[in-house]
Chains A and B, each alone.
Chain A
């Protein structure tokens, strides 16, 4: 069993839809990382959070420490949001990665 589970694995949405990607983890964490990976492999950090909620533009990340669960929301989705979204649980200096959610936003 993976320390970090993501759902769904694949997601197709129409442009403008509200999108939610979920992440559950089983390890004790100091923080949780949401990452975006575009075709070609480059990974960009979206959020690092240890409690509550963070917002950046159309992206919102929330975390519930008691339930060991985090969500990434995308409002008014756009085709350029198409990417793989990965959550990573951070314990000390170690990162545990989920397998990613592949998002395709159709115009």
Chain B
């Protein structure tokens, strides 16, 4: 069974630039999560989708972050414009009806 795919694996940008991350969850997994993990901390939920609907985006900084999952399958997370404090690993995970979560390899973002 293929796992959760993410791209790119690494990204370096300057502050005020834009960046987008892509996630393809495991086939059949209706729930998709985007997490931000700052070095030394546990993952923080940014947004949770159930199919193509948003379940929880309460911790998403909506002035600069946006995410979509148009067809209920893959998803993109965008940051526009990026700030220094956005440097983190962005993790995508999927699960089948809130069951065990499977994580992608993450995208390590460095904002200079």
Contacts and interface: CB of A to CB of B under 8 A. Distances in A.
Interface of A: 4, 30, 33, 35, 40-45, 48, 86, 88, 90, 92-95, 97-100
Main secondary structure of the interface of B (DSSP, over half): strand
23 contacts: A30-B98, A33-B101, A41-B37, A41-B91, A41-B105, A41-B108, A42-B103, A42-B106, A43-B91, A43-B93, A45-B102, A88-B101, A90-B98, A93-B48, A93-B55, A93-B98, A94-B48, A95-B33, A95-B43, A95-B101, A97-B42, A99-B40, A100-B41
A99 B42 contact: yes
A93 B49 CA distance: 10
Size category of the binding interface on chain B: 20 to 34
Main secondary structure of the interface of A (DSSP, over half): strand
Interface of B: 31, 33, 35, 37, 40-45, 48, 50, 55-56, 89, 91, 93, 95, 97-106, 108
Contacts of B31: 93
A99 B104 CA distance: 19
Contacts of B44: 97
Contacts of A35: 103
Nearest to A4: B42
A92 B98 contact: yes
A45 B103 contact: yes
Given A93-B31, A93-B48, A95-B45, A44 B103 contact: yes
A74 B100 CA distance: 21
B56 A94 contact: yes
